Amino acid sequence: MSTHVSTIILQQLGGNRFLAMTGAKDLLAMDTAGKVGLRMRLPANLTKGRATHLEVVLTERDDYTLALFKSATLRRERQDLDVREGVYVDNLRAVFTDMTGLDTHL
């Protein structure tokens, strides 16, 4: 189920155009500890706060929680920069742009 949910989230963000516009890569379907969603790596030199990752989690209320964070690979620490809860699909792209400073489309 997690790959199905993560595929839908990517399509809702804009699919391959989203990937091309944002430089997102290393997509990971999440299905652990009650979190079902999509995690991706972002180009830190282009994002607000030099964030390295974004996590989009589907909640039980059928909305999303987005978490923008820095991740130090060697120390395995995570520093949350911005977390938005209660994001509905029609606002997903706008919230992503507001959080990261990256446009999802031309």
Q: What is the pLDDT of residues 17-48, one digit of tens each?
A: 999 999 999 999 998 888 899 999 999 899 98
Number of domains in the chain: 1
pTM metric for this prediction: 0.89
Answer whether residue 38 is part of any domain: yes
Answer whether residue 106 is part of any domain: no
Region 6-17: mean pLDDT is 94
Answer whether residue 69 is part of any domain: yes
Tokens 């890569």 belong to residue: 25
Per-residue model confidence as pLDDT tens digits over 61-103: 999 999 999 987 666 788 889 999 999 999 999 999 999 999 9
Is residue 22 classed exposed, middle or buried when 0-12, 13-18 and 19+ CB atoms within 10 A define those classes? buried
Answer whether residue 77 is part of any domain: yes
Range of the domain at 20: 2-100
pLDDT at 40: 95
pLDDT at 75: 63
Answer whether residue 105 is part of any domain: no
pLDDT at residue 2 greater than cutoff 70: no
